[in-house]
Amino acid sequence: MFPIFKGSQKFEELYYKDAYCYYYMKMYREAESLFKGFLEVFPNSNKAEEIDYMQAYSFYKQSPKIELEQVNTTKAIGMMQSYINRHPGSSKIAEATEIIDKCRAKLELKEYRAAELYYNLGQHRAAALAYTNLLNNYPESTKGEGCKLHIVKSYYKYAKVSIVEKQIERFEKVISEYQDFVDRYTESKLLKEAESYNDLSLNNIKAIKNEQVTSSVKR
């Protein structure tokens, strides 16, 4: 890059402008690489903090549509957090934090759609696990109550289609998830619906045990 200017006073300015040139042309991958290079060549520049932010922001601009792999979205979160850690007094902290929140919301929505897809396809165990992972990854999610209800429902449907030998254990899992629902969302409007699956599970366990006793007596 500009070999004739390398080592001169103009080199830093030209490097700086070249990086922004690619950024404004929306060639974010190339811009990110140049911002990174700038920091390596001019670590003590008075523009270093600004460029550090722009490198992270260029990764954020590469975040793809939600249907695609979100590697760059995850990287953007990490880079923005690193920027915050390196520059705690920066005027960009609020903006960087907002971008992290947007990226996390995007990743959460992607996980939620995947869980919904499993549920709609009738893949009950996969749906329950996907909703559980979502709640573990995003415990403050506004979708929390709905996800927990779907966990209860998914495990109930999974138990219903299971072989008899596995049903008691799997209905007990429904009851356990219902209890967790009650503990997490005591005032939820969805509690009554979750309770219905708990009651159905209790009734199914009772019926299976009665059948086992009847079969044992007949023998």
How far is Cα of residue 125 from the mean position of the Cα atoms in its chain? 19
Parse the chain into domains and list their residue ranges. 1-109, 122-219
User: What's the pLDDT at 216?
Assistant: 65
**pLDDT score, position 4:** 47
Spatial separation of the C-alpha atoms in residues 47 and 40, rounded to whole Å: 12
* pLDDT at residue 3, rounded to an integer: 55
What tokens appear for 98 in the block?
Answer: 């907002």
What CATH class has 1-109? Answer: mainly alpha
In a structure prediction context, what are the per-residue pLDDT tens digits for the chain, which is 219 residues long? 555 455 556 888 999 999 999 999 999 999 999 999 999 999 999 999 999 999 999 999 999 998 888 999 999 999 999 999 999 999 999 999 999 999 999 999 999 999 999 999 999 999 999 999 999 999 999 999 999 999 999 999 999 999 999 999 999 999 999 999 999 999 999 999 999 999 999 999 999 998 877 766 665
CATH classification number, 122-219, choose in 1.10.10.10, 3.40.50.10420, 1.25.40.10, 3.90.1200.10 = 1.25.40.10
Amino acid at 21: C
**1-109 matches 122-219 in fold:** yes
Residues 6+ apart with CB under 8 A from 83: 52, 53, 56, 90, 92, 96
Contact status, residue 144 vs residue 134, Cβ threshold 8 Å: no
Burial of 11 (C-beta count, 10 Å sphere; 0-12/13-18/19+): middle
d(CA 78, CA 81): 5
pLDDT score, position 219: 58
